[in-house]
Amino acid sequence: MTQNVLSRAYNSDIFYSFSRSPTAIISAIVALLIGLGALFAPLVSPHNPFDLATLDLLDANIPPAWSVNGDPRFLLGTDDQGRDMLSAILYGSRISLLVGLASVMFSLVVGVSLGLISGYAGGRIDSVIMRVADVQLSFPAILIALLVDGIARGLLPRDSHDSLSLYVLIFAIGISGWVQYARTVRGATMVERNKEYVQAARLIGMRPFTILRRHILPNVLGPVLVIATIHLAVAIITEATLSFLGVGIPPTTPSLGTLIRIGNSYLFSGDWWISIFPGIALVLLALSVNLLGDWLRDALNPKLR
């Protein structure tokens, strides 16, 4: 059975298109490397930036190992608290990826469900959901995320801010991105709903919920996959932006955005490495995921094949 699945995957058009696209292969490798590095950060990183016992303020602001004042212990230098930049980046991308993936999941679940309901039910329900979507679309996503984040901070007790900030951020970014999913899924659902296999299912007396889950959902997921990949890059960048603005992840467990913010204040004093290296990591991650998404969109589009 597994063999069967593997050989089917190997023979599929998607794999063929993948093996023919150098861009896709390179970005997949880059994304995979960063992903693996983030996942196994405790194993691969030379230091543990969160372990206060190993930090030494005397090690603060050391430039990268290859420069004049560099220290071979810290390949990419250290930040203002003596944390190893390489380790901080690995742990940081862990948080960035976590927030990105979780908020994409959140958007996807909300957006796909609302899109399915909207497209299948039609009428008033559809109008209400789509008008809400239109209103939300008239604001930039980052503004919505900021707004939600701000409201959440105002409502939550002050001492729980740091512990809850991760969840607040996931919610804020997630809620700002559902519209795209909902619109796409709604359109696809309206097409599928009128197909005869759905009528056949209605004919045996299936309830709308079952029809949506068993029949329509699997058939509208193709474009969703593409949106989700591209959205992942957007979500990672949004997280970085919010953290950079200081409303995201607190500096005690820095994400890539937080690291860039910390480094920002040292840029003019010449300590460029603190914000440049996390910046490069962020660009590589976002770019590779974005390119993968673009490739996936083209590969799944029969007209561009």
Partner 1 sequence: MALLDIENLHIEFSSRHGNVVAIQDVSLSLEAGEILGVVGESGAGKSTIGNAVIGLLEPPGKMTQGTVLLNGERIDQLPPQAFRKVRGKRIGMIFQDPLTSLDPLQTVGDQLTESMQVHLHINQHEARERAAALLNSVGIEQAELRLDQYPHQFSGGMRQRVVIALALCCEPEVIIADEPTTALDVSIQAQILDLLRALCKEKQVGMIIITHDMGVIAEITDRVAVLYRGKLVEEGPTRQVLGSPKHLYTKSLISAVPRSDIKLRRFPMVTYIEGVQKNTKEDNLATATRWMGQQRNFGGKSDKPLVQVSKLGMRFILRNSFLKRNRISLDAVKDVTFSIKEGEVFGLVGESGSGKSTIARLIAGLYQASHGSVHFNNVNVTQLDDKKMLNSFRRQIQMVFQDPFSSLNPRMRILDIVAEPIRFHKLASTEALTRKIVSGLLDYVGLGDQALARFPHEFSGGQRQRICIARALATRPRFLICDEPTSALDVSIQAQILNLLKDLQESLGLTILFISHDLPVIRQMCDRVGVMRHGELLEVAETETLFSDPRHDYTKHLLSLMPGLDFLSQEGLEVEDAVLREAG
Please tell me whether residue 199 binds partner 1 under the rule CB under 8 A.
Answer: yes
The candidate with the shortest Cα–Cα distance to 121, out of 57, 216, 43, 56, is 216
> What is the rounded distance in angstroms from the CA atom of residue 262 to the CA atom of residue 80?
8
Pick 73 or 214: Cβ nearer partner 1: 214
Stretch that binds partner 1, among 26-34, 195-203, 274-282, 295-303 (CB under 8 A): 195-203
Indicate whether 203 belongs to the interface with partner 1 (CB under 8 A). Answer: yes
Give the integer Cα–Cα distance in Å for 221 and 219.
6
Among 39, 202, 294, 298, binds partner 1 (CB under 8 A): 202
Residue 159 or 196 with smaller CB distance to partner 1: 196
Please name the residues in contact with 91: beta carbons below 8 A apart, sequence gap of 6 or more.
38, 41, 45, 49, 50, 253, 254
Q: Using alpha carbons only, give the angle 290, 294, 295 rounded to the nearest 5 degrees.
A: 115
Q: Contact at 8 Å (CB) between 292 and 229?
A: yes
276 near partner 1, judged by CB under 8 A: no
Considering the complex, state which of residue 4 and residue 252 has its C-beta at the smaller distance from partner 1: 4
**Contact pattern from residue 204 through residue 233 relative to partner 1, giving x for each residue in contact according to CB under 8 A and a dash for the rest:** xxx--------x--xx--------------
Q: Which pairs count as long-range contacts for 85-88, CB under 8 Å and 24+ apart, including other chains?
A: 85/259, 85/273, 85/274, 85/277, 85/278, 86/45, 86/46, 86/277, 87/41, 87/45, 87/46, 87/47, 87/48, 87/49, 88/49, 88/254, 88/259, 88/278
Cα 242 from Cα 255, distance rounded (Å) = 11
Output the smallest distance, CB 7 to partner 1, in A: 15
Q: Give the residue with the Cβ less far from partner 1, 16 or 139.
A: 16
Q: Is 216 or 240 the residue whose CB approaches partner 1 more closely?
A: 216
CB of 131 to partner 1, least distance (A): 16
Establish if 127 lies at the interface with partner 1 (CB under 8 A).
Answer: no
**Residue span 10-29 as binding mask against partner 1, x where in contact by CB under 8 A, dash where not:** ------x-------------
Grouping H, G, I as helix, E, B as strand and the rest as coil, residue 84 is: strand
Measured from the CB atom, the residue of 224 and 259 that comes closer to partner 1 is: 224
**What is the binding site for partner 1 (CB under 8 A)?**
16, 195-197, 199-206, 215, 218-219
